[in-house]
Amino acid sequence: MRKTFIAIIAAVVAALAISCAEDKGNYDYHAINEVTISGIKTGETMTKVSFIDHLVIDPQISSSMGKNSENDYEYTWKMMPAGVDFDKIEDIDATIISRERKIDQLVTWEPGDYSVFFIVKDKDNGLCTTASFKLRVKSTTSEGWMVLCDNNGRSRMDIIFNVDADNDLIAHDVWQSSDFNPGRPEKIIFNYTIYETAALLVTDKSTYNLDVTDLHAGEDNELKWRFGIPPEGLRVQASAMSQFSINNLWVLVNEKNEVYVLDRSVNNSVFEFPVNKVDGTKDFKAAPFVGVSYNNVYSGGYGCAPAVLYDMTNRQFLVIRNNSHYPSPIAFSGATMFTAQTGRDIVWMESAKDGRIYSLLRDPADNRLYFYCFELRANYTPGSYWWEEGTYEEYNVQHYYGEVLGNGLATATMYAINHQFPYIFYVSNNTIYQFDMGHPEEQAKEVLSFPGETIKCIKFCPMVAWESYEDWERQRGYQLVVGTTKDGADKADCGVVRMYEVPNLMAPLVKLKEYQGLGDIVDIAYKERKK
């Protein structure tokens, strides 16, 4: 039986071999027209400004069979938000933006990142060839320098938009067509975490969380609607969001020196009631500052306490800890140069990009100014088993402490801390001074003055780490921003904004850019693009 089976298999194989041999040359082979697309920078990201720029691309088509007539092909341009699964798009036709070979149209899409595909279809054989690239759409309100101005008692917003490293656009009074009057401007605050942003306009009437897309202010986006009991006349003095804590919080201080906390890890959470009790028992008034850690997970920042406050009543640093409702006096680990109880009055606090929190305090006994710098950190202890969650032990470290030395300190009114080097900038008698905390024995030096102008604000605006910024974009976070107004000039265009590079070793500041013709400047903040 086995021999018979083998014989049958052998016969079948032989028959197939003969059949294949006889079949040689019975097929007709035809060359396929191979299409090549040039003129599209595949893999690169093109940046355009909505309602200002045109998307202009003139791709060239070459053919292996010499079919170079434009009528030999059909063309389709498709665009969709980056990262979207093509199979889950319900209306494919909605992704089509053109059916011409050359595209030339005004960019009108919402700000964001897109994938763009150019598809060439051979009419004879139906085969398609595709080239693709990334498109980043920006707008003058999706990101940029928000220059808050006073327009005869009304709030005015000018926007400085950096198109690229060398080119800029200025949008003057973006609210001029609005009938809504938010009130007299007081300050502008920008908070940004991976999950939420807040651009807060503070006026003498209320606080508004400006629209993410067009920055409009209105009754619909008053911040009071984020409260369990909406407060009338809310004027936020400080606001910050924690990013690397166990309980990531949104913490703010209002015009009554009350502290409110919103737990961002809880869906639909609201600001409930003030938490102005040290350890839940002792009342205090909070200074108009909130410190948070911008440190990342690789340098001990993850798991740290969510926020730092300053208790004006008892003159001490407080911290809101993970899983704690009320603030407590901060505790430090390692070498210490100062205690939480300072006995001094705070005049400034700033959270730097490297995770450090800087504060300037004035001694009520002799009016001298002192600098404090510390960092929120945590030690992680893994669980006993892989499925058990570990624990974070708070350990906060000190970096700098000492007295600020220099002219004009008694009358200083504005302050800013560089986020790259340990430099303090302050304004006194319409002059900007620079002090090096790394060499506290040396006096602050005069660095800038503007004859015929009044200094309105000085700022550093750090850029968050998780955005894919180009080098020139990220460097803006280390530049000193100075807003001034020309004395005696028309309030409608008296404002000037200047950007300065801050070199190492206390070298002279380098002016990089200057913008004229802005409004009567009140405050400046940078609005980053939403991830």
Q: What is the pLDDT of residues 516-529, one digit of tens each?
A: 999 999 999 999 98
Local structure of residue 4 (DSSP, 8 states): H
Q: What is the pLDDT of residues 314-360, one digit of tens each?
A: 999 999 998 888 999 999 999 999 999 999 999 999 999 888 999 99
3-state class (DSSP) for residue 2 = helix
Show Cβ contacts of residue 119 under 8 Å, excluding neighbours closer than 6 positions: 75, 76, 77, 78, 128, 129, 130
DSSP string spanning 225-257?
GGBSSPPTT---SEEEE-SSBSS-EEEEE-TTS
Q: Could you give all domains of the chain from N- to C-terminal order, each with its CATH number?
A: 35-138 (2.60.40.10), 144-409+519-527 (2.130.10)
Show Cβ contacts of residue 296 under 8 Å, excluding neighbours closer than 6 positions: 244, 302, 355, 465
Does residue 136 carry a pLDDT above 50? yes
Which residue type, as a one-letter code, is found at position 105? Q
Task: Compute the distance between CA of residue 188 and CA of residue 144 in angstroms, rounded to an integer.
Answer: 13
Does residue 148 carry a pLDDT above 90? yes
Under the banding of pLDDT at 50, 70 and 90, the label for residue 27 is low
β-strand pairing of 73-81 with 112-122: antiparallel
pLDDT of residue 29: 63
Under the banding of pLDDT at 50, 70 and 90, the label for residue 6 is very low
Task: Compute the distance between CA of residue 204 and CA of residue 186 in angstroms, rounded to an integer.
Answer: 7
Q: What is the pLDDT of residues 71-81, one digit of tens each?
A: 999 999 999 98
* Burial (0-12, 13-18, 19+ Cβ within 10 Å), 25: exposed
> Taking the mean position of all CA atoms in its chain, how far away is CA 104?
31
* Burial (0-12, 13-18, 19+ Cβ within 10 Å), 141: buried
Share of the chain above pLDDT 70, in %: 92
Does residue 22 carry a pLDDT above 90? no
β-strand pairing of 185-192 with 197-203: antiparallel
> Taking the mean position of all CA atoms in its chain, how far away is CA 355?
16
Q: What is the pLDDT of residues 483-531, one digit of tens each?
A: 999 999 999 999 999 999 999 999 999 999 999 999 999 999 999 987 5
Task: Compute the distance between CA of residue 437 and CA of residue 505 in angstroms, rounded to an integer.
Answer: 12
Does residue 379 carry a pLDDT above 90? no
Does residue 185 carry a pLDDT above 90? yes
pLDDT of residue 384: 80
Question: What pTM did the predictor assign?
Answer: 0.83
Q: What is the pLDDT of residues 434-477, one digit of tens each?
A: 999 999 999 999 999 999 999 999 999 988 877 778 899 999 99
HEC string for 376-401: CCEEEECCCCCCCCCEEEECCEEEEE
Phi-psi region of 303 (alpha: psi -120 to 50; beta: other; left: phi over 0): left
β-strand pairing of 128-138 with 45-49: parallel
pLDDT of residue 391: 79
Does residue 126 carry a pLDDT above 80? yes
Q: What is the pLDDT of residues 87-108, one digit of tens each?
A: 666 667 778 999 999 999 989 8
**454's tokens:** 């009044």
Over residues 244-257, mean pLDDT: 92
pLDDT of residue 66: 84
pLDDT of residue 15: 45
Q: What is the pLDDT of residues 284-327, one digit of tens each?
A: 999 999 999 987 655 556 788 899 999 999 999 999 998 888 99
Under the banding of pLDDT at 50, 70 and 90, the label for residue 231 is very high
pLDDT of residue 452: 98
Task: Compute the distance between CA of residue 276 and CA of residue 260 in angstroms, rounded to an integer.
Answer: 8
Task: Compute the distance between CA of residue 261 and CA of residue 185 in angstroms, rounded to an integer.
Answer: 24
Cβ neighbour number for residue 197 with a 10 Å cutoff: 19
Residue of 149, 140, 73 lying closest to 111 (CA atoms): 140
pLDDT of residue 465: 72
